[in-house]
Every structure is written in structure tokens, then in C-alpha cells.
């Protein structure tokens, strides 16, 4: 497919990411599918690194995801490797897919002397085509020769598929006077397009924390970051988020609120960047639901609004079509009372008491909808349940990208 223009919602530039002690990166042109660009990245993690992960819940998930899930719960004092290719997702390739993962892990184990269960792989790109893993293993020597603690940007570039910009985020904080760093990269431009737009995220920190504590923190923070974004309601067969804590800073962050907050911010920033690169997106939308019977109901309502094609097309058209919000709440299946709903666009009170607000004017709403960053707030008036999710609009460009690209 032809090169896409950079999303209008992209950050001005890729951030300066700090070096993380205990992690080195390399990237290479393996020619898995793309020509003339880097398409494999490798991260080598020093011994003593804790690795945690969260993965797609898809029932048809890829061999790579299944393999990572088998390994992620193991405690180990060994180092570890993360190796990722773009261009081919190795998904729905039957037993051949399992064989490709094994071949890559075994080859890395041979080069490094690590056990193969310390090698984590991801693949993203076309589905259903056999992964030419030989092209990847043929580059291992080059990759290990090129390892460098400053090459995280190369890694961010190598994992892109339909992404229109590389995604990175970082945080540095002092804990009891000692510096701790976090740096992460991501790719993804649909919640999924299983051919080419899976979400992959790799976050590194020099903090010290056990694998189990790191996993708990990661799972909890995923529920309020990556699990609350949606581009098109579709779910990848390959979504993977790995978090590696090398411990090189010597700072134990177990139970540390400041570290947790910093990690949250990095995860949320990366999640927002994925939405901002949503296929065809021209608007970034935050949806806040409050007053629901409980948090689960609030999330059901928020995702019903965020995933509604009619809401998303109205936003694309800069149409303050609050009636479609009412519709989405009505269809979500969670509890709602028409006459207790309050709807706001930004600070503008749009609807209350089961009807449009007397103070609201359509001109005011239409003016608000012209902004690139929008907030939609719904209060159900039923209880204390809240949820916040992020999405983008649904535009002609989404249809163009997804209807045309394999032909």
C-alpha cells in the first residue's frame, strides 16, 4: 500500500528516551516482507531482569502470543531477549507457526547461551502467510553485533506496520534521592487490523522489583490504559505488552506509588499515541462516564459510545449529535434511565432530565466539535461507577485503508 500521510493527531516529534541500564537494542533489515527498511528489533536484557506481560484474549491468537504466555510466569535469574519482526504476523499459520517461533527462540538461545524459555517473540503484519523465519535468524549475528543502549528509536521504527509515526514515551523520577528511569515504545494504528496493525508495546525500566509484583502492577495499570482504548472495536490475534525491569538502578519500587504513577503515565501516553495513529483518525476523543451503577457498567457504556459507528461518524463530521450518544447508552446493555442522563461536550451542558438542555444551542455544540481533541462526558445519575476511555473518529480514510490495501 502507498505510504500514508502522518496522522494529524501525531505528537510533534519522537521524544528523547533515556538509556535504561541493563537493556541494549539492535534493529536490522531482514526483508521479512518490507524492503529497504528495518523490520526486526532485538532487546537484550541483563541477568536479574523481571519480565511481565499482558496479551490479547483472542481465541485465535498467534503462536508467538501462546509461546510468550507459556513463559511469562517463570521466575529466572537469567537474562532475556525480546525479538520482534514486522511484515508477517505468523498468525493462523497452523503448526508451521509454532515451528517458526521455536526456530527463532532456539537460534537466539544458541547465540546467547540463554535457555530458549527466556526468549520472547512477537510478529506483526500479514496474517495466514508462513513466516520466513530463516530471514530473521540469518540476521541474529548482525543484531547481536549491533547491540547498543541508545538504539531504542531504531527498535520503535522496526516494529511499525501501518503506523504513520513511531511511538515512544519515558519518565524519570527520584525515589529516596535515587534516579529511576522508564522508557517504552509501541506500535499500532487500529485497535487491530489483523493484517498489519496489531498493538505491540515494550517498556523497560531500571527499577528493581520481583516478577510477580511487576506482573500485578502491569495487569492493574493495563486495565486503565491499554484496555480502555479502542479504534474500531476489533481485537488483534497478536496484541502483546511486555514490561522488563532490570534492577540496575538498585532502587526497589515494590509498592512505590510514585513509580506506579510514572509507569501509568508512560503506558497512558503510549496508549494515547496508538489512538492518535488510529487508521484515518482526525479527532482524539476522551469519553468519561460517571454515575453508573458500578464501574463495570460505566465501562460498558463508555465502550458502547466509543465503538458506535454512528457516534464516530458524527464526530468525523463535526456534528454535535448527542442523540447518537443516547442511542449508544441505550443499546449497551448496562443500566440507564433516560430521564436521569446528563451529557456534556467539554464544559457545555448538552442534555439533562431526559431531554436537550434549555441552555444548549446547536451552534455552541457545532463550534466545540471543530476541535481536534474532544471530551464527551455522560453522567448516568444512578450510582458511583466511573470509567474513562479513549477513541478516535471514523472517517473515509479508515474505509480507504481497510477496503483497499490488499488489492
Q: Per CB under 8 A, which of residues 219..278 are in contact with its own copies?
A: 232-237
Of 2-10, 137-145, 178-186, 350-358, which part binds its own copies (CB under 8 A)?
350-358
Please report how close the Cβ of residue 49 comes to its own copies at its closest, in angstroms.
31
The number of residues in the chain equals 407
User: What is the DSSP track for 307-374?
Assistant: H-HHHHHHHHTT---HHHHHHHHHHSSS---GGG-EEEETTEEEEETTEE-TT--HHHHHHHTTSSEE
Which residue among 198, 222, 237, 290 is the active-site one?
Answer: 198
Give least dist CB 331 to its own copies, A. Answer: 4
Distance, in Å, from the CA atom of 198 to the CA atom of 265, rounded to the nearest integer, reads: 22
Q: CB 36 → its own copies: shortest distance, Å?
A: 25
Would you say 93 or 205 has its CB closer to its own copies?
A: 93
387 near its own copies, judged by CB under 8 A: no
Does residue 294 bind its own copies (CB under 8 A)?
no
Instruction: Give CA separation, 320 vs 54, 210, 336, 397, in Å.
Output: 37, 48, 21, 21
Q: Which is nearer to its own copies, 74 or 396 (CB)?
A: 396
> Residue 356 CB, nearest distance to its own copies (Å)?
5
Q: Is 2 in the site for its own copies (CB under 8 A)?
A: no
Whether residue 49 contacts residue 249, with contact meaning beta carbons closer than 8 Å, is answered with no
Determine the Cα–Cα distance for residues 368 and 347; give it in Å rounded to an integer. 10
Q: Which string of x and - marks every residue 125-164 that binds its own copies (by CB under 8 A)?
A: -xxx------------------------------------
**Residue 168 binds its own copies, judged by CB under 8 A:** no
Report 317-336 residues binding its own copies (CB under 8 A): 317-319, 321-324, 326-336
Measured CA to CA, the distance from residue 37 to residue 188 in angstroms comes to 18
Grid coordinates in use for 256? 512505590
Q: Is 162 tagged catalytic?
A: no
Residues marked as catalytic: 198
Amino acid at each position: 500500500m502507498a505510504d500514508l500521510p502522518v496522522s494529524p493527531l501525531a505528537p510533534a516529534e519522537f521524544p528523547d528516551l533515556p538509556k535504561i541500564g541493563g537493556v541494549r537494542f539492535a534493529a536490522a533489515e531482514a526483508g521479512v516482507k518490507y524492503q529497504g527498511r528495518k523490520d526486526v528489533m532485538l532487546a537484550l536484557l541483563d541477568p536479574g531482569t523481571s519480565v511481565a506481560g499482558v496479551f490479547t484474549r483472542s481465541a485465535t491468537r498467534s503462536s508467538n502470543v501462546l509461546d510468550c504466555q507459556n513463559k511469562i510466569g517463570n521466575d529466572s535469574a537469567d537474562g532475556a531477549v525480546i525479538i520482534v519482526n514486522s511484515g508477517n504476523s505468523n498468525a493462523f499459520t497452523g503448526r508451521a507457526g509454532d515451528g517458526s517461533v521455536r526456530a527463532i527462540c532456539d537460534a537466539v538461545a544458541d547465540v546467547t547461551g540463554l535457555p530458549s524459555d527466556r526468549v520472547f517473540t512477537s510478529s506483526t503484519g500479514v496474517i495466514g502467510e508462513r513466516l520466513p523465519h530463516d530471514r530473521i535468524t540469518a540476521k541474529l549475528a548482525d543484531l547481536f553485533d549491533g547491540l547498543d543502549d541508545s538504539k531504542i528509536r531504531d527498535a520503535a521504527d522496526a516494529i511499525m506496520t501501518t503506523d504513520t509515526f513511531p511511538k515512544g514515551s519515558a519518565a524519570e523520577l527520584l525515589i529516596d534521592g535515587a534516579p529511576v528511569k522508564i522508557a517504552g515504545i509501541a506500535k499500532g494504528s487500529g485497535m487491530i487490523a489483523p493484517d498489519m496493525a496489531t498493538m505491540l508495546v515494550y517498556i523497560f525500566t531500571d527499577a528493581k522489583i520481583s516478577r510477580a509484583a511487576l506482573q500485578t502492577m502491569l495487569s492493574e495499570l493495563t486495565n486503565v490504559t491499554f484496555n480502555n482504548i479502542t479504534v474500531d472495536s476489533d481485537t488483534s490475534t497478536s496484541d502483546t505488552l511486555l514490561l522488563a525491569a532490570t534492577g540496575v538502578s538498585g532502587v526497589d519500587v515494590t509498592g512505590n506509588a510514585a513509580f506506579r504513577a510514572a509507569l501509568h503515565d508512560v503506558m497512558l501516553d503510549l496508549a494515547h499515541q496508538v489512538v492518535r495513529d488510529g487508521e484515518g483518525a482526525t479527532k482524539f476523543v476522551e469519553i468519561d462516564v460517571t454515575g453508573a451503577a458500578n464501574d463495570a457498567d460505566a465501562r460498558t457504556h463508555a465502550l458502547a459510545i466509543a465503538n458506535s459507528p454512528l457516534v464516530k461518524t458524527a464526530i468525523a463530521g463535526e456534528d454535535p449529535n448527542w442523540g447518537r450518544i443516547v442511542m449508544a447508552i441505550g443499546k449497551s446493555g448496562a443500566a440507564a434511565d433516560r430521564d436521569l442522563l446528563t451529557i456534556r461536550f467539554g464544559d457545555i451542558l448538552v442534555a439533562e432530565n431526559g431531554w436537550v438542555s434549555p441552555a444548549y444551542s446547536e451552534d455552541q455544540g457545532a463550534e466545540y466539535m471543530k476541535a481536534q481533541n474532544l471530551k464527551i462526558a455522560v453522567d448516568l445519575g444512578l450510582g458511583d461507577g466511573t470509567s474513562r476511555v479513549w477513541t478516535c473518529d471514523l472517517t473515509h480514510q479508515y474505509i480507504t485503508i481497510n477496503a483497499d490495501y490488499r488489492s
